[in-house]
Amino acid sequence: MKNKKIIYIIIVLILGLTVFGVTKIFTKDNNEEKTENKPSTTSSTTVTTTTTTSATTTTTTTTTQKKTTTKTTTKSTTTTKTTTTTKKVEEKTEKEDNGSLAGTSSKGYEITYKNGKYYVDGYLIVNKTYKLPSDYNPGSLDSKTKSAANEMFADFKAATGTKMWAQSGFRSYDTQKSIYERYVRRDGQKGADRYSARPGHSEHQSGLAFDVCVTGYSCISSGFNDTAPAKWLDANAYKYGFILRYPKGKENETGYKHESWHFRYVGEELAKKLYNDGDWITMEDYFGITSKYAD
Ligand SMILES: [Zn+2]
């Protein structure tokens, strides 16, 4: 008699739970149909809600719900490549806009990769290690670079009465290719690599660098080193956001011989730090990155 009573209670319980479970499943199916056409962020929120619900209901329901949850999760994975909450989906999207993390420099700066270009701490980096894509072609000098250069040239003219200009600014991948190949024919690859960049590795392709010439002075050659205008540039370029990209005695860091005529725009803040009261710090040293060809 006692056993019968217990069996009866169990049957009622099972029936009750089954009805509850079935109702839940139907409710869930409806929810799922509704969320299917919604953007992935919404379906991600549904996943979180479902998990909480299934945890509080019975074992039978949980098993069924788990199956449904997995289904929903897979859906959001294909569209957004994340699995959990809405917040995470948003964070991921923002990260992708800033490029992907390519590594960390030896001095702890983030190296990011975006649209085929490398940035260290947000600064575009072009040297022997980091190259630009062959189809990257801004077509001319970057507008900020151009206006800062014009300001510098005007101030130089006012101070000395002599004309200074950017003789070589933006250079395309193809132009660099023919220049480099010509130098290789003349000096061999090892020799050319000391002063000319291989295609894709030239800062001129970035539109952020240029070579200056000054009336009456040797142009884009070592004959310009230590001249009065070279000294003026060395002491003043940082005020306009430029750095002397290849300082004297830093060939092992930059990968290039000293060039007193080549300047790179980085903005006034970083330029002042790298100027270092006249004792130039290279981008390579400051950020802790290399400048070496892989082969
Ligand atoms: Zn140059």
CA distance 90 to 78: 15
Query: What pLDDT was estimated at residue 100?
Result: 94
Q: How far is the CA of 19 from the centre of ligand 1 (A)?
A: 78
Q: What does the CA dihedral 221, 195, 269, 102 come to, rounded to 10 degrees?
A: 160
Report the DSSP pairing between strands 123-124 and 209-214.
unpaired
Choose among 166, 140, 139, 136: nearest CA to 151. 166
Distance 285 CA to ligand 1 centre (A): 20
DSSP SS3 for 4: helix
How far, CA to CA in Å, does 289 sit from each of 104, 143, 255?
9, 27, 12
Strands, sheet with 123-124, edge to edge from the N-terminal-most edge strand: 100-104, 110-114, 117-120, 123-124
Of 33, 259, 269, 284, catalytic: 259
How does DSSP classify residue 97? H
- Between the CA of 225 and the centroid of ligand 1 the distance, in Å, is 14
Question: How much is the pTM?
Answer: 0.68
Residues 111 and 103 sit within 8 Å (Cβ to Cβ): yes
Taking the centre of ligand 1 as the mean of its atom positions, its distance from the CA of residue 247, in whole angstroms, is 12
Residue 170 Cα to ligand 1 midpoint, Å, equals: 9
Query: ∠ CA 125-182-221 to the nearest 5 degrees?
Result: 65
- 10-residue mean pLDDT profile of the chain (295 residues): values are 55 47 39 33 32 33 36 35 40 57 96 97 98 98 98 98 98 98 98 97 98 98 97 98 98 97 98 98 98 94
Residue type, 274: L
Sign of CA dihedral 264, 269, 270, 275: positive
pLDDT, position 295: 86
Element containing residue 123 per DSSP (H, E): strand 123-124
Residues with CB under 5 A from ligand 1 (ion): 211, 262
Identify the pLDDT of residue 2: 53
Which residue in 123, 114, 149 sits closest to 203, CA to CA?
123
CA distances from 150 to 13, 32, 146 (A): 86, 61, 6
Six-digit token string for 219: 């142009």
Annotated catalytic, 33? no
CB 253 within 8 A of CB 291: yes
Q: What are 7's two structure tokens?
A: 């069996």
For residue 105, report the distance from its CA to the centre of ligand 1, in Å: 25
Q: Do 289 and 254 form a contact (C-beta atoms < 8 A)?
A: no
Q: Which residues lie across from 124 on neighbouring strands?
A: 119
Contact 129, 170 (CB under 8 A): no
CA of 166 to the centre of ligand 1 (A): 10
Q: How far is the CA of 11 from the centre of ligand 1 (A)?
A: 87
Residue 19: per-residue pLDDT: 44
pLDDT at position 99:
85
Other CB atoms closer than 10 Å to residue 10's CB: what's the count?
10
